[in-house]
Structures are given as structure tokens and as C-alpha cells.
A and B are shown apart, each in its own frame.
Chain A
Amino acid sequence: MYAQMIKSEATLDDPEKLAAFQARIDAGDKIEPKEWMPEGYRKTLIRQIGQHAHSEIVGQLPEGNWITRAPTLERKAILLAKVQDEAGHGLYLYCAAETLGVTRDEMTEMLLDGRMKYSSIFNYPTLTWADMGAVGWLVDGAAIMNQVPLQRTSFGPYSRAMVRICKEESFHQRQGFDIMMKMCKGTEAQKNMAQDALNRMWFPSLMMFGPSDKDSTHSVQSMSWKIKMNTNDELRQKFVDQTAPQAEYLGLKIPDETLAWNEEKGGYDFAEPDWDEFFEVLQGNGPCNVERIEARQKAWDDGAWVREGLMAHAEKRAALKEAAQ
């Protein structure tokens, strides 16, 4: 999931209006940007959609890391197209957030100065080509788990963005799995690379769903507003249930000795990730937090003259047009 630990904002609105709003949500209505909404709903959504958008953009970096080293022309094209899709997802999501009264530039500033977050997963390094497989398979896979239900979220622009995005994410997941298959059927070194990628990516992928429900205090309001559709643990369970047989099919071992099918609950038992590590990563202490934000900051700073130049030219053009009329 790309939106972790989103605190629902308190709302001080007129109780009657709030009740009517809740009734619309319960009836399955979509809320559109021009319509009345509680302040807390608006603020929570800005934070959640913004965090989701930032995750798409920062998420370009760990995969972009391998575009120049992709091993065949076809793999290079597929990876390039994937990372381009992620930029597109960022764009739709920023547009959806902008309908709530915040600009993309403001959100970017908030990402860069740490007021807004992005998913913890993108603070882990991509060290071998197998990581391109593991990211597609596990990270896009976990993202889909969360985003498919969000297609039914109550906020119209967010729900529509999710519909477009989900189609592409499932494509990404299949491509990632395809890389893993190729590696697992390949040479000894390739198999080792694939296992190593799974070893490193498994627990960080489980962290994508956010903390355990017993420590996640903010979901009640978000769930009744249909901004959050499932609890963290529900989605994590679903993810493990889907992924464990896939790992077996690949001939890879999930790095969890306790992982076992539980007939009674109809799902796998599995070990929780190290939550201390998770909170450290969120605090900025993940393996790549510093590099990721530095890379975004550099792109932003280096691009300033370009954005200013394009703007100045557009203004001159508009002035010329006006003078001609």
C-alpha cells in the first residue's frame, strides 16, 4: 500500500451536515470536488492521495536504477515503459489531489521538506536485476491488493484514478513475475539472485500495508468515510495467501520459518515484520531515505530554470496574443 499511517483529521463541522454526508457515503454516492465535504475528509484525502502520488514518483528511483543496466533491449523497453507508467500514476494522483485545493508544487515542497511521506518500501535499495522482478511481483502486487478496493472509494477523482492505475499495476505485476520465472529457470547465479531478492524484499513488502491493526488507531474514521476500505491486517493476510503459492511455484523459499498453511483459518500463518525497523524507515532512517530525497531535491532544483523558462515563454506568448487582439 502506498498510503501508510494516514491519520484521519478531526472534523468540526455542523453535525447535521456531517450526518447527511455520511448518509451519502453509506448509500454508495461518489463525492465530487465541488460538493460539500467535511474539512477532516478533505484534509485526510489530501494527505492520503498526496502520499500515494509521492510514492509513485519516488518509486521511479529504485527501478530507474536499473534502466541503464537492463540486460536485453526488450527488458529495457519494458522497464522504461513501467517506470513511465509510474510517473503517469503520479500525475493522475496529483491532479486528483489538486481538485481538493492544493497544488502539485505545494505537495512537492511538502515531500521535500518532510511534511509529507511516501511508502516505506522505496527506501530499500535495488541491488541486482532480480530486484526488478521482485519489485514488480511483490511491490506492485501489494499495491494492487490495496488499490483494487480503493476503486470503490467515496471520492470520485480518487476512485477514477484508481481504476486507470489498477489496470497498469496488474500488468506490472505480471511483468515482474515473468522476470522472476526467467531467473528461476536460469543459471545457478540467476536462481541465487532471485532468492536473494526475495530474502531482502519480503518483509519490507509486508510493511507496505502499515502497522498491525492493534497499533493502527486512525482507521475507524477513514473506513466509515470509505477512504480506507480494508484494515491493514486483512490486506496483509490476503497478500501472503496470494504470494506464498507463487513463491512455491517459482521454487523460491520465503524467508520465514513460521510460514505455514492454517487449515482452520483458511490462510497462512506468518511472521510479522520487524516493526521497529518500519518505524525507523518512516522516521527517515531506512537504507535509502537520504538518497531518495536528495535525488528528488536535485531534480527539483536543477529543473527550476527549465520550469521558469517555460513559464516565461508561455507568458510572453499569451501577452503577444492579447496585444494582437
Chain B
Amino acid sequence: MSAALFEYLLRLGDNTLVLGHRVSEWCGVAPALEEDIALANTALDFIGQTQMWLAYAAEVEDKGRDADALAFRRDVWDFRSLLLVEQTNGDFGKTLMRQFLFDAFNVLNLTALVGSADVRIAEIAAKSVKEAQYHLERSRETVIALGDGTQESNRRMQKALDVLWPFAGEMFVVDAVDTEMQKAGIGPDLAALRGEWVAIIQPVLTSAMLTLPESDFAHKGGKTGVRHSEHLGHMLATMQFLPRAYPDAQW
């Protein structure tokens, strides 16, 4: 049980860590000052959520590690982030599309987790879900605006959707860990969330004049850690540089 719970918490915390890191890469170079501030805000929310998820994961693991040790001292194969959140930022359109696809999932997942049988998870979810709702509101509006904006912005948003779509399906893939969490009343039935997720994104994409790709092919391997993207290793090389180079230092 505690092994599965640890695994499950890593998935939650690694998604927010990796996506938070990605979004933070925009700091200082966003298309407008308002967007710069909003992206930093999103990144900050994710880093805050990461602190909560990984601190709890470390407690459950009970091997003397803390949230920072989990974030900065694990290598790629020990990460449990979705392939979607590992994808590079690309242009602003790709960043916002990635955000939108994840936000819609995140709101549904966290809403379910607010009712989790695990009190700590329920508490963290309750704190995070409001932030997630706000992120979704913003990414939804931006996807609509850019999809509906100019020909060029529509073209870029469609391309972003096409590129990211094969990474979306992994969010709803259920494995033994998910099943165990569901049986214990800790986590939701992810497969069942998919319908609700489509109900959120479909009308947005329609308003944005974007076409949902036909194929439902989904890359897998991120959340199980079996096969991450090449991008993750580069991200960790940057992110973990200081704690790795100066293992005895306190910061």
C-alpha cells in the first residue's frame, strides 16, 4: 500500500514540478509583460504544489529524504511525470496549449481528490484546486483568443494541438497503481475522467476554430517511468546542477 501511495504521490508532485519548471523558463521573455507575470504566477503555484506533494511523498517513503531530495537527487528513470508536461515550450502557442490540455485534466483530477480517503491528499487537493481552476480559466481564454485571432495565430495553435495531442492520452491510462488507489478510495477512476475532459476541451477548441485530431494514439511511459522523453534529462541536468555539484552544501 505505502509503495503504491508513494508512487502515486510522485506522479502528482512530478507533474507539477516538471510543468512548473517548464513554465518558469518563460520568465523575462514572454510576448507581453502581462503574460510574463501570469506565467510566473502559474509556475509559482506549481512549485508550491510540488512542495506539498513531494513532502508528503517523502514522509510516506520514510527513508529520510525530503521534498528537495526527491526533486533534485533523482535521475530520469525515477521520475513519474507525464510525457505531456515534459514537452519543450516551443512557441507561446505550444506552451499555452500544453497548459490548457493539462489544466482541464488537473481541475478534474484535483476536484476528485478533494474527496480522497487520504486526508493529507484531500487537504493538498483542496488548496491546489482553486489555483488549477484559475489556470484553466486563463489557458482556456488564451487558447480561444489565439485560435480565433489571426490566420497566423490560428495556424500556430492548430499546429500546437496536433503536436501535443498524442501526449494527452497518457493522462487517462490506468495502471495497477491507479487501480489500487481507486480501490482504497484515494484516487479517482482516471479512465472515467476522460469523458468529462473531452466535454471541457471540445467546446473551447470549437470556439477557437481548431480541429481535434482524429487519431487517439497515445504515447505512454512517463508516469510509469518506463520511457521518458529525451527532454526530461536535459531539464534535470539544468535543474539539479547545484545540489549535484555541491552535494554537501545547504542553500
- Which residues of A have CB within 8 Å of B246? 187, 189-190
Among A60-94, those with CB < 8 Å from B are: 60-61, 64, 67-77, 80-81, 83-84, 87-88, 90-91, 94
B31 to chain A: closest residue by CB: A303
Q: Which residues of B contact A76 (CB under 8 A)?
A: 24, 47
Task: Give Cα A57 to B241, complex, Å.
Answer: 26
Binary CB contact string for chain A from 254 to 271 against chain B (1 if under 8 A, 0 otherwise): 000000000000000000
In the docked arrangement, what's the CA distance between A108 and B42, Å?
Answer: 25
Residue numbers in A under 8 Å from B239 (CB-CB) = 68-69
* Chain B positions within 8 Å of A186 at CB level: 249-251
* Given A80-B44, A182-B250, A305 contacting B153 (CB threshold 8 A): yes
What's the least CB distance linking A227 to chain B, in Å?
Answer: 24
B148 near A316: Cβ-Cβ < 8 Å: yes
Partner of B251, one of A57, A75, A305, A311: A75
A298 cross-chain contacts in B, Cβ below 8 A? 29
Tell me whether B249 and A87 are in contact (CB under 8 A): no
- Inside 8 A of A84's CB, which chain B residues have their CB? 27, 36-37, 40-41, 44
For this complex, into which size category does the number of interface residues on chain A fall? 35 or more
Chain A residue with the shortest CB-CB distance to B33: A91
Cβ of A81 and Cβ of B33 under 8 Å apart? no
SS class, residues of chain A in contact with chain B: helix
CA distance A174 to B165 in the complex (A): 45
Question: Which residues in B have their C-beta under 8 angstroms from that of A311?
Answer: 149
Please give the distance in Å from A85's CB to the nearest CB on chain B: 9
A187 pairs with B248, CB closer than 8 A: yes
- B238:A68 contact, CB within 8 angstroms: yes
Known contacts being A83-B27, A302-B92, is A313 close to B32, with CB within 8 Å? no
A299 to B152, CA, bound (A): 17
Q: A302-B31, A310-B146 are in contact. Are A83 and B153 (CB under 8 A)?
A: no
Alpha-carbon gap, A161 to B51, bound state (A): 33
Assembly CA distance A295 to B146 (angstroms): 23
Q: B21 at the A/B interface (Cβ < 8 Å)?
A: yes
**Shortest beta-carbon distance, A248 to chain B, in Å?**
23
Q: Is the CB of B33 within 8 A of A87?
A: yes
Please tell me if the beta carbons of B30 and A303 are within 8 angstroms of each other in the complex.
yes
Given that A67-B24, A73-B50, A182-B251 are contacting pairs, would A129 and B44 also be in contact in the complex, using a CB cutoff of 8 Å? no
Which residues of the partner chain A approach B44 to less than 8 Å between Cβ atoms?
Answer: 77, 80-81, 84
Q: Which B residue's beta carbon lies closest to that of A76? A: B47
Given contacts A68-B24, A299-B31, A310-B142, 7 further A-B contacts (CB under 8 A): A73-B68, A73-B71, A84-B36, A87-B37, A190-B246, A298-B29, A305-B152
User: B-contacting residues of A (Cβ < 8 Å)?
Assistant: 57, 60-61, 64, 67-77, 80-81, 83-84, 87-88, 90-91, 94, 104, 129, 179, 182, 186-187, 189-190, 295, 298-299, 302-314, 316
* Pairs across A and B, CB under 8 Å, 7 listed: A77-B47, A80-B40, A84-B36, A186-B249, A187-B249, A305-B91, A306-B153
